[in-house]
Amino acid sequence: MVQMIDRRSFLAASLGLGLSALCGGRASAVATLAESRSRSSRFEQMLGGYVASGALAGVAGSLGYGTGEAQFFADGTLSRDSKVPVDADSLFRIMSMSKPVTGMAVMMLIEDGKIGLDQSLADFVPGFASPRVLTDPAHSMESRPARQPITIRQLLTHTSGLGYFSRIEGPLRDAYINLGLVPVRTDGKSLPDTQDFDYAHGLAEFAERLATLPLLAVPGTRWIYSMSPDLLGRVIEVASGRAFDAFLEDRIFSPLGMTSTFFTVPKSEAQRMTSLYSIRDGKADVLVDPGPGSVCLDPPPFLFGGAGLVSSPRDYDRFLLMLAGEGAIGTTRIMSQETARLAMSNLLPAGVDMSQALVSSEGFGALGSVALSAQPDGKGPGSFGWSGGAGTTAFVDRSQGIRAAGYGQFIPSTGLPFLAEIPRAIYGIS
């Protein structure tokens, strides 16, 4: 296992204090430093165990305190047939960890006054002016008028009534696929139960096609994992007058120094790309997408705001650091403190049915889960984050001054306990 951080920076970061604060409260400082070392040791051992057991070819992780420098961990290689070690600059398919990025972009436009949190989606995508709701989703495409329009708040919190092609049953799933409403890159091997389809090309076409289909539920009534982040990519384009990827680059990636986060990985960076595997007998060893020849090196048919980004542990920590700094890294501020706090707060409409939520009994903010109380895995109230379907996860726990992320490359992400073990290792929960 390789650890990468300057020792002095880690000392300050571990304590969540500036170096000048180390002069007082020596006993408390020593205790805090000992605790941070224990966290690092547990996290390091947990990550390394997956490589030592052969379950994963390579892993990486980051752990930071307050707004201090992060400590990075890495073990194994980019693929099972590679000798190139994983490090903090290796590239991972972060999949649904793209969602909080899209969510923050929306919140920035809300701060700019170009989007309203409770504004109607139809103001940006007119096809949604008269949404309809399925009467029997499991068996029929029959529908009735929805009682209310879809709002931006509902899109940010998965309460719009939209679904996700791989998580629903019945004729609506087939309709999504037939219309190419599949917001994930594939070479055909990772969607074995899906019929042939032609992708929608461009976010405008994606939004227009999606608007022709009925909803699974009345907007604002049920939490249903959905393609709303991808639709919000189109809202961002309309509201800002910029292409979605250009907006992210200009307003988030460039200011934060995120130079290794891409919708399309440049060919010049292919040597940093990890390989993706599926699980067989408890090991991720069935190759799905090879790093050097990954589908991520080709432009996607449209920009997937919910699952399209590739990033490095070092780069994504810059995003987490901004969240920990409530909209800023040092003197570089990309959104106000008030906007950042709102984005990481519970934005759910009142009375929403959360029985289908992927993280039970949680609140939900701008495309990320929000802890409403202390969690069994150790996270504190207000913790914000999300995980990716290819074995990655990240969160910011401002109540305890911790930000962390873990990176594997395997599908399904539930095939190993990797994601669940990351916070438990950090917080020392057995």
Residues whose CB is less than 8 angstroms from the CB of residue 202 and which lie 6 or more positions away in sequence, other chains included: 301, 302
Which of the residue ranges 15-19, 227-231, 271-275, 356-360 would you say has the lowest mean pLDDT?
15-19
> Residue ranges per domain, the chain?
77-401
pLDDT in tens, 325-353: 999 999 999 999 999 999 999 999 999 99
Q: Is 236 buried (19+), middle (13-18) or exposed (0-12) by CB count in 10 A?
A: buried
The string of DSSP codes covering 179-219 is TT---S---SSS-TT--------SHHHHHHHHTTS-BSS-T
Which of the residue ranges 18-27, 116-125, 252-261 would you say has the lowest mean pLDDT?
18-27
C-alpha neighbours within 13 Å on the C-beta side of residue 74? 19
Token representation of residue 8: 């002095």
Q: 13: pLDDT confidence band, cut at 50, 70 and 90?
A: very low
- The CATH number fitting domain 77-401, selected from 3.40.710.10, 1.10.4080.10, 3.40.50.150, 3.40.50.300: 3.40.710.10
Report yes or no: 377 and 429 within 8 Å, Cβ to Cβ: yes
With a cut of 50, say whether residue 135 has pLDDT above it.
yes
């800002």: which residue's tokens?
240
- Helices and strands per DSSP (H, E), number in the chain: 12, 17
pTM: 0.92
Residues whose CB is less than 8 angstroms from the CB of residue 23 and which lie 6 or more positions away in sequence, other chains included: none
Token representation of residue 35: 């605790």
Q: 17: pLDDT confidence band, cut at 50, 70 and 90?
A: very low
Q: What whole-number distance in Å separates Cα of residue 303 and Cα of residue 251?
A: 17
Q: What whole-number distance in Å separates Cα of residue 222 and Cα of residue 201?
A: 29
pLDDT on residue 7: 41
β-bridge mates for residue 287, sequence order: 277
